[in-house]
Amino acid sequence: MYTTSDFKKGLVIQLEGAPCLLLDVTIQSPSARGANTMVKTRYRNLLTGQVLDRTFRSGDKVEEADYERHKGQFLYADGECGVFMDLETYEQFEMDEEAFSAISLFLLEGTEVTLGLFQGRMVMAEPPMVVELTVTDTAPIIKHATATAETKDAILETGLKLKVPPYLENGVKIKVDTRDGRFLSRA
C-alpha cells in the first residue's frame, strides 16, 4: 500500500482496478484551523489512456499496482499496431493502434524502449527521451543562415514533421525530443 506521502511523479498506483501513472503531484496546505492537507494529482490511466485529476486527503492509502518496467525493443509495425519484444524474456507483445500512434513516429525497427507490464500484459511502451532520425525531405539550405529563431519544415524517415533550423539539409541525422517532438541538435 502507498500513502499520499509516497506520491511522486512517475509512480504507478492502482485506482479502481487500473494502473495509473502519476504525471503531477501538488501538495496543498490549508491556511488554518487544523484542516487536512490535500494532495492533488494528475494521472494517466494506463489501460484507457485517459488523463484525469483526483484529490486525496493527507494520509489516504491506495493500492500498489502489479506493474513492472522491463527493457524492450520495437520490432516492427504490423498494420496500425506495433510489435515489441521484452529483452529479458523474449516474449512479444502487440500494442493497439490508438496507443501505438502516439509514439510510432519516434520509433525505428530495433529502437530500445521501456515496456510497462500490468499483470503480465503490456499497457505502455516509452521511447527513449531522445532519438536520432534522418531528415528525408526539407527545403534547400538557406545561404548565410544562422541558428536564430528562423526555421523551416522537415520530414524525417519515420514520417514525423517538425521545424528545423534553416542550415539543415536532406540526409542529416538529427536528435529529436520524444516528449514534445522538437528538434534538439545534429546527431
Number of domains in the chain: 3
Identify the pLDDT of residue 147.
Answer: 52
pLDDT of 131 > 90? The answer is yes
CATH number at residue 53: 2.30.30.30
**Phi/psi zone of residue 70: left (φ > 0), alpha (ψ -120 to 50 degrees), beta?**
beta
Domain final position from 41, 64, 87: 64
Same domain as 152, residue 178? yes
Whether 34 has a pLDDT exceeding 60, the answer reads no
3-state secondary structure (DSSP) of residue 95: strand
59 and 20 in a common domain: yes
- Containing structural domain, residue 7: 2-64
pLDDT band at 78 (very low <50, low <70, confident <90, very high): confident
What CATH number should be reported for the domain holding residue 173?
Answer: 2.40.50.140
- Which of 64, 81, 102 lies at the terminal end of a domain, its last residue? 64
Same domain, 79 and 109: yes
Q: Are residues 6 and 57 in the same domain?
A: yes
pLDDT at 33: 62
In angstroms, the CA 35 to CA 125 distance is 40
